Amino acid sequence: MLTLAWGIILAGFVLKFAGSLAPQPVPQVANSCHMQDVPYPWSSDTMTQVLQTTTPNPPEIRVPRPVESTINWYEIGVWSIKAWESFERKPYICPAGKWTIGFGHLIAESEWGTHVTGGKSKEWWQNNWRTAGPTVSAEWCHATFARDVDVFKQEALKHSKDPNIVWALTSFSYNVGWSKIYAGRSTSRALKAKDWKAFSTAMLQYVNGGGRELPGLVARRKEEARWMKNVPPTELRMQILRDINNRYW
């Protein structure tokens, strides 16, 4: 009887040992993490949390490579030009003494007396522009700006393909006109040589309006000069531009 008892005990031990060598099922993790559930780009803290709450190297997890941040010079250029230019839905006189509407759109002689000026003449607006109401919609202003700015940008593309240079030239020419740039000794020489450092310096001469230096033009020229050095606006500046442009609708 004693021998039989020891045999039963030994057999149970062998079975238990053999069972421990069998493959064990992989533990399942509740609420397994998928890429779309994790904020992107992933921060180091997020990655640490993900790795601590999932099985080691699970086959379904694919850590995405961070996408290099790119500078959207189109947004910088468009938003900045709109912010620098006055926005009026009726004819007004700009600091340089010219009749303008929308985002710095110079009113052509052929546009007086049309829907742009509410069917009124220049003489009428000279006497009533302060009290008169809007003559065009915000949509018209944005569409006209898009058309106008593209004309200046296409000319800028003849001199450079670098987005930062293109938008610096576009903003500058939208303000002073390409004719002045080509006529200016310093600007034309630097433009022909593609000497953007010299051009940035030459731009700083164009800060007068109505016979006096305008602080707004000084700030604008300095910002355009930074663009030429491929220095974009700060995130705070972009937020301000974004808020300003949102008010135009």
List the structure tokens of 244.
């300003």
Q: What integer pLDDT is reported at residue 11 of this predicted model?
A: 53
Residue 230 DSSP label: T
What CATH number labels 73-246? 1.10.530.40
Within 10 angstroms of residue 142's Cβ, the number of other Cβ atoms is 18
Split at pLDDT 50, 70, 90, the class of 71 is confident
Q: What integer pLDDT is reported at residue 62 of this predicted model?
A: 38
List the structure tokens of 117.
């000026």
Which residues are 101's β-sheet partners? 105
Split at pLDDT 50, 70, 90, the class of 117 is very high
- Model-level pTM greater than 0.85? no
pLDDT at residue 24 is higher than 70: no
What value does the mean pLDDT of the chain take?
79
Q: What is the pLDDT of residues 197-247, one digit of tens each?
A: 999 999 999 999 888 899 999 999 999 999 999 999 999 999 999 998 888
Q: What integer pLDDT is reported at residue 170 of this predicted model?
A: 98
Which residues lie closer than 8 Å to 129 by C-beta, 6 or more apart? 90, 91, 92, 93
Mean pLDDT of 17-37: 36
Helix axes 196-203, 185-193, angle to 10 degrees: 160
Percentage of the chain beyond pLDDT 70 is 72
Split at pLDDT 50, 70, 90, the class of 3 is low
Q: What is the pLDDT of residues 237-247, one digit of tens each?
A: 999 999 988 88
Most distant CA atoms of the chain, gap in Å: 128
